[in-house]
Each structure stands twice: as structure tokens, then as C-alpha cells.
Amino acid sequence: MSLRGDGPIEELAVPSGTTVEEHDLVTDGDVLVGGQSTVEFGLRGRNVAIGERVSVENDIEAEGDCRLDTWCSVDGNVLVGEDAYLGERVTVTGRLMVSGDLDIGDDVSIEEGFEANGWIVIRNPVPTLVFYFIVLSQLLRVGETDAADELAAALADGDDVRDPLLIPRSAEISDDAWRVSTPAAVGDDCRLHGNLRAESIRVGERNEVFGSLRAREGITVGAETIIHGDVTTRGGTVTVEADARVLGDVSAGDLVVHDGAEIDGTLRARGEMRLVQETAEEQATEGSDEGDRKNDSERDEDEETTDDADSNAESDDDEDAESDGAMTESDDDAAAADEKSEADEMRADAEAT
């Protein structure tokens, strides 16, 4: 994935579990920063790839590889768990510590020195990490998502594939504000500091954002998320999902508030304002399902009762047939006895005569 030019990073994407800790932006996955961006936080992630002319105003810690493209500046230390790649005219005000190999370009300034446990090559590198990004971006461009997933899984060395932290070109990320000209998406269980400014914003569930949200288009605040600030959009729709809380004002074109959400400030909507009572709908759905299950149970019981009745009727018919047969045999015996009695009387009369 080339981080030059417009690049394939088309949105600010904050993966689930990302936090801001002591002025560091911490995530479990990779960190990709587009060119000409300013990041006032330190960066801590698995692999860290920084585009050209990016300024990082704190330390960088990468568990895997780290790439700093041309004209990058880091106001702090750079700690790399595997291999490091530094382009031309990179400036590091602190110390560079690399556990693996170090590829370094021309006119690089590392003010407090560097140390690498592997090979040190002085050149303008094009590392394997960047080649992987380029191939992956091309697969996504042509719609080969399955092939891209297989490539990502194969290059993850058997580890679970985690969503990366994506910072688009010309972004400004600081403790005061996160400003991008693209859409922004925040995952679940994140803790962020700063006002978020983007084209559109979607915040996932169980997040806490210490700042306001402002977008030209729609804004969605996920369930159980807390926003310590205002939520404002020019003409889009603001959606506040169940059990979310906004500690400020909400201003939107259209406003959708789910049952259980709390908004401490003023509500302003130039268009439609709608309350969604999800709990009642879910109860009705559950009641309908229970009713269907009950009707099915009653239907099964009725069928069993009918089968029992038919079985009993067949049994009664068999008993009646046996009874009729027994009665017929009894009648035949009685008739034979009468005939024998008459014959004996006639014989007795003949002897008497």
C-alpha cells in the first residue's frame, strides 16, 4: 500500500480497543499514516508505516516492523521489535533501537544515536512491508477481497489478523482535535481524547470520547457510548443508539434517538425528529414468537389427543367385534341344546307307546 499521493487510505479508521494513554495512541493492530499528516500523539502498534512528510511528536513503538518514509520527523524515540526502514532525510530527535535489521537512507539524522542487532544497510530502501501494502491495495482496488484476505492471513505469520489504525493523508491528530477530510469510523471499546472532525462519523459501541463530534454528513453514536461534548452535523442525520449518552447539545438535519439514550443538552433538528422504541418492538417480536411456539405446542397436543382417540376407537371396535362373536357362539350352543332336548322327549314318548 503506497502511502504517497492520494493513496488508498480513504477514511480515518480507529479499530476496536484503541486507547489514548499518556499522550500515546495505542492499538493492537498495525498503524498506517498517510503523507503530510501531523500526529501529536506517540504511536504504539504492531507494524507502523508512516508516509512522506509526516510529523510524529512523540515516541514510536512497533512490535513488528517500522517504516518512516522520506522527510518524516519523529520528536522522540523509535523502538522497533523487528526490522526498521528509514527513507531519505528522516529526522529522529531521540534514539533508534532496532531488534532486527536496519535499512537506512541518505541524509538521515538520529540525534541520540541508534542500535541494531541485525544487519545495517545504508541505502534508500523499498522494504517488504511496503511491497505487501502495494499488492494488498491493488487486490482491493480490483475487487479481489478473498485473495486480499488470504494474503493478509499468510503474511500475519499465523497470528490473528487485526484491523489496522488508518490515518488518511493530510490529517491532524492531537489531544485537542482529530481533523480529517474523509469519513471517520471508530470501533468498539475505545477511549479517545480530542474533538473529532470529519466528513461523516460513525462511533461504535461502548466507547468513551472526551471531545465533540462534528461532520458535514451523518453521525452515528453507538450503543452504550459516552460523548463528552456536542454532536453537530450541517445537514445529515444524527443517530443516537440505545443506552448511549451525549453530555452536550445535539444539532442535526434529522435526528433519530433510540429508546434508552440520554442527551443532557439541547436538541435541534431542522427536519424530522424521531424516537425509536426498540424495547417495545423486541418484546412484541418475542411475544409473537412465544405465541407461535405455544400454538405449535397446542397443535401437537391436539394431534396427539386425536391419535389417542382414534386408537381408543379402534380398540372399542375390536372389543365389540369380539363380543358379537362370543354372543353368536352362545346362541348356537343354546339352539343345539334345545334340539337335543326335543329329540330326547320324542324318544321317550315312543318308548312309552
Give CA–CA dist 28/80, Å, rounded: 15
The answer to whether the pTM exceeds 0.75 is no
Nearest Cα to Cα of residue 65 among 16, 14, 133, 12: 133
3-state secondary structure of 120: strand
pLDDT of residue 347: 61
pLDDT of residue 328: 46
Between helix 145-154 and helix 128-141 the angle, nearest 10°, is 160
Q: Which residues of the chain have pLDDT under 70?
A: 1-8, 123-134, 136-138, 151-161, 278-353
pLDDT of residue 304: 55
What ranges do the domains of the chain cover? 12-167, 183-276, 281-353
Give CA–CA dist 297/173, Å, rounded: 60
Cell numbers at residue 314, please?
A: 379402534
Per-residue model confidence as pLDDT tens digits over 230-272: 999 988 999 999 999 999 999 999 999 999 999 999 999 999 9
Beta-carbon count within 10 A of 138 CB: 14
In single-letter form, the type of residue at position 245 comes to R
